[in-house]
Chain A
Amino acid sequence: MKTLADLKKIREKAQEEMKLRGGSVRVKIVVGMGTSGIAMGAREVMKTFLEEISNRNLTDVLVTQTGEKGLSSMEPVVDVIEDGKPKVTYGNMTPDKVKKVVVEHIVNGRIVSDYVVATGN
C-alpha cells in the first residue's frame, strides 16, 4: 500500500464484507422463515437468493430472514424492500422463481408481477 487511494480500495472492499453491520444497502430481501415457510421450501429459496446475489456480485443487496408472516397458503413468502419504494411481497416462491426475481427486479428494477401477492406497507 502506497497511497490513500490504495487504502480507499481496501476500505471499500472491507466495508462490503461488513455491510450486515449497518452499511448502506439499496435492496433488502426478507425471506419468511416460519414453520410453514420452511416446510414449503423457504430454506432453498433463501440459499438461492444468497447464491444468485453472490454470483452476480451485487454488493448493495442484503438478505435476511423473518418469522411467520401470516400468509401460510402462499409460502414461501419473500419481501423485497427498496429505499423510498413500497414493499413488494412475492408468494409461492421456488428457486427458479428466485432467479427470475433477481434478474428482473433486483438487477433491472422491473417487478415480476406474476409472482406478487401484495404491495405497500
Chain B
Amino acid sequence: MSLKRIDLLICCGSGCLSAGAMKIKERFHEVLQEKGLTNEINIIETGCMGPCDYGPVMVIYPEGIFYKKVTPADVDEIVSEHFIKGRPVSRLMLQDEEENTFSTQKEVPFYQKQVKVALANCGYIDPESIDEYIATGGYEALGTVLTTMSPQDTINVIKESGLRGRGGGGFPTHIKWQMVHDNPGAEKYIICNGDEGDPGAFMDRSLLEGDPHRILEGMMIGAYAIGSNAGFLYIRAEYPLAIKRIKLAISKAKEAGLMGKNIFGTDFCFDAEVRTGAGAFVCGEETALIHSIEGGRGNPTPKPPYPAVQGLWDMPSIVNNVETFGNVPTILLKGAKWFASMGTATSKGTKVFALTGDIRNTGLVEVPMGITLRELIFDVGGGMSGGNKFKAVQLGGPSGGCLTADHLDVHVDYETLKERGAMMGSGGVIVMSDKNCMVNIAKYFMDFCVDESCGKCSPCRIGLKQMLGILERITSGEGKEGDIEELQRLGEAIGKLSLCGLGQTAPNPVLSTIRYFRDEYETHIRDKSCGNKVCLPLMHFNIDKDRCIGCSLCARKCPVTCITGSREEKYTIHQLECVKCGNCQDVCPVKAISRIPGMHPEVTAKRETDAKSTNHHED
C-alpha cells in the first residue's frame, strides 16, 4: 500500500446518507480516478459526526478542514483546489451569523463545549474497520480486564466511576452487575438494549453505526464481570445500517480472535447475536424486550422478579443500554477517577443527546453531566433557528416533560431534571420556539403513547385513551371547565397504577405542560382560541382588505372554493366552508392573509345554533 497524503472522512451516519453522502463518495472516486490521485488519497466512511443539520459533512486530514452541505457538484472543486493546489474551498466552510468562517473541525463552536467519551470515535474512524478501532486503543480494556482483573475488580471500577444507565432510568450500572455476579446460576445472559424509540432520538443508532466495536467491547467486559458467555443485541429493524455494521463487527471480532473461545488466551468465552425488533416502543422496557427475544409477544411483566434474578429464559440477565456499554471500555482504560471527575455529585461522566426541533445545530452531541440547559441549547446547539424565541424544551421523549425559559439555568443531571418534572431519558432533546402550542405538543405525545401501549394493563390501555380524548376535545374547541383537573387526576392515577415504565411515565408530557403552561390550556378551553395558531379549529384565516390587490390567486388555489371577490371589492374567505389548509396564505403575493387566533364569530354562532337544534331534537 502506497503512502497516502490525505484522509478524506465522509460522514455516513443516517442523516448524511439521506442527504446524499453516498453520491458524493462515488463522485470522489470518479474524479480521483480521472485525475490519477487514487493512490494518494484515502476515502473513509465514518459514523455520525454530529452536526446533522449541515449534512452531508466531511473532514479532511491532515489539516482537519470541515466542509458542510457538500453536493456532488462541489467535488470537482474540492479535488482541483484543495487536493491538488492545497487551497481549501472556503465557501463550503461553516460560517456564523457574523460571517466568521471556521475552517477546521476543532474551531467549529458546535464541538467546543463537547466532551466525547462514548462518541470519541464516531465520525473519526471507519466503523467497518476493526484495525481503526484498535488504533484508538480498542480492545485494550478488554485484554487488560481479562488478563489482570477479577470480575469483582471490574465491578468495583464501574462502581467507583459512578456510571448509571444511559437508557433513561439512571439505575446504577454496578448494582445490576453485582446482582447477577452474585447469583450462583451457571447460565447468564447479557443484553444490549438498542430499541431506541423516542421520537427525535438517535443516540443509540449513531453509536451502533459509528463505533460498533466499542459497544461489543463494553458488552464483553460486562459479560466477564457477571460471568456470562452469551449476549444478545436487540436492535429495531428500522435501523438497517446499525444492524449491518454490528453484525460485521461481530464477524470481524471473531476473525481476529477477540470474540469466541478463550479470548486473550484466558478461560473467558463469549458469543453475541443480533435480534431485530419490530419497532414496538414498549420493547425498550426490559421485561418486554426479554419476552421479544424469547420469541414471545413484547409485553412487559411485573417486577420483581427483576431480570437480574430471573431474566432471559428465566436465567439471571443484564439489560444495559447501548450508550452505557459505550462508556465502559474508556472507564477501564482511563480509570474510574477520571470518569467520576466529570459531572455532578450524583451523575457522573458525560451524556449523549440528540438535539432536534427549532434549534440551529440539529444533531448528535456529547456533553459533561451538569451542563446547563442554556449551554446545551445556545452554545452547543447554536441557539434557536429562524430568529425565533425559545419557549420550551422537551426532555426524555414521550416519558419526559417540558421545561421552560425559567429553567434554562438548570443543570442537566438525573435528579435535577426529575425534580422539575422532566427526565434525562435516553437523550432526546426537542427544542421548541414560541410558535409551538403546548397543548398540541402534549396531544402529540399522548397520541404516540396510545398507539404504543401494548394493552396488557388497563390504566395504560384505557386511561391514556381517555386523556387523549380530552386533549382532542380541548384542541377542537369543545373543552369545558374541569378538563384540566380531570387530566391531572387521570395522569396521576395512570402514573401510579400502570404495569411498566411506558404507562407510568406517559402522562408526564401532559402533566408538565399543565404545570408550566396552564394558561394555554385555559385559553383553549375558555376562549376557544389557540394563541399560537397551531390548533386549526381554534384559529382562522383573514384577508386584510387594505393590503389585498385583488389578484384572485388565493381564490384560484383554494381547494374548497370558499374565497370569493373581485379586483374592485377585494377577496373574502367564507369561514364556514374554510378547511384551513393555508394555501391562500402561501400564495398571496402581498402577504395580505394572516392567521388570527380564535374561532371566527361566524363559526362560533353556527356552532351555537347547531348545539341548540341538537338539544331541541333530544327534547
Residues of A within 8 A of B (CB): 1-4, 7, 10-11, 13-15, 17-18, 20-22, 31-35, 38, 43, 46-47, 50-51, 53-54, 62-67
B270 contacts the other chain (CB 8 A): no
Task: Mark out the residues of chain B between 229 and 269 whose CB falls within 8 Å of any chain A CB in the assembled complex.
Answer: 256-258, 264-265
Report the separation of the CA atoms of residues A40 and B577 in the bound assembly, to the nearest whole angstrom: 75
Are B140 and A63 in contact (CB-based, < 8 A)? no
What are the residues of chain B within 8 A of A66 when measuring CB–CB?
86
Complex Cα spacing A4 to B142, Å: 10
Q: Is B26 an interface residue (CB 8 A)?
A: no
Segment of B1-9, B506-514, B561-569 in the binding face: B1-9
Shortest C-beta distance, A63 to chain B (Å), equals 5
Distance of B148 from chain A, by nearest CB (Å): 9
Determine which of B42, B62, B84 lies in contact with A43 in the assembled complex, contact meaning CB atoms within 8 Å: B84
- A interface, over-half SS: helix
Interface residue tally for chain B (C-beta within 8 Å):
37
Q: Cβ of B135 < 8 Å from any Cβ of A?
A: yes
CB-CB under 8 A from A1, the residues of chain B are: 256-258, 264
Indicate if B63 sits at the interface (CB-CB under 8 A): yes
Among A14, A32, A47, A65, which residue has its beta carbon within 8 angstroms of that of B131?
A14
Once bound together, how far apart are the Cα atoms of A25 and B87, in whole Å? Answer: 22
Q: List 9 A-B residue pairs with CB atoms under 8 Å apart, sorted by A's residue number.
A: A1-B264, A4-B144, A18-B135, A22-B64, A33-B84, A38-B85, A50-B4, A54-B3, A64-B5
Which residue of B has the minimal Cβ distance to A15? B135
Residues of A within 8 A of B338 (CB): none
B149 to chain A minimum Cβ distance, whole angstroms, is: 13
Closest to B253 in A: A1
A2-B265, A64-B62 known; A21 vs B5 contact (CB < 8 Å): no
Alpha-carbon distance between A65 and B61 when the two chains are bound, in angstroms:
11
Given A14-B134, A33-B84, A62-B62, decide whether A2 and B40 contact each other with a Cβ distance below 8 A.
Answer: no
The answer, yes or no, to whether B168 is at the interface (CB within 8 Å) is no
Interface of B with A (CB < 8 Å)? 1-7, 9, 39-40, 42, 61-64, 83-87, 124-125, 131-132, 134-135, 137, 139-140, 143-144, 147, 256-258, 264-265
Closest to A56 in B: B3
Most B Cβ at <10 Å: residue of A20, A38, A62: A20
Please indicate which of the listed interface residues B3, B83, B140 has the most CB atoms of chain A within 10 Å of its own CB.
Answer: B3
Question: Secondary structure of the B side of the interface?
Answer: loop
Q: Report how far A4 CA is from B144 CA in the complex, Å.
A: 8
Given contacts A11-B134, A14-B134, A15-B135, contact A38 B84 (CB under 8 A): yes
- Chain A hits for B257, CB < 8 A: 1-2
Assuming the contacts A7-B139, A14-B131, asked whether A21 and B85 have C-beta atoms less than 8 A apart, the reply is no
* Interface pair B134/A63, CB less than 8 Å apart: no
Taking the closest CB of chain A, its distance from the CB of B1, in whole angstroms, is: 8
Closest 4 CB pairs of A and B: A14-B135, A54-B3, A65-B86, A14-B131
Per a CB cutoff under 8 Å, which of A2, A11, A18 touches B7? A18
Contact in complex: A3, B265 (CB < 8 Å): yes
Report how far A4 CA is from B62 CA in the complex, Å: 30
B86 x A53 contact (CB < 8 A) = no
Interfacial chain B residues near A63, Cβ < 8 Å: 3, 5
Contact A7 B85, beta carbon cutoff 8 Å: no
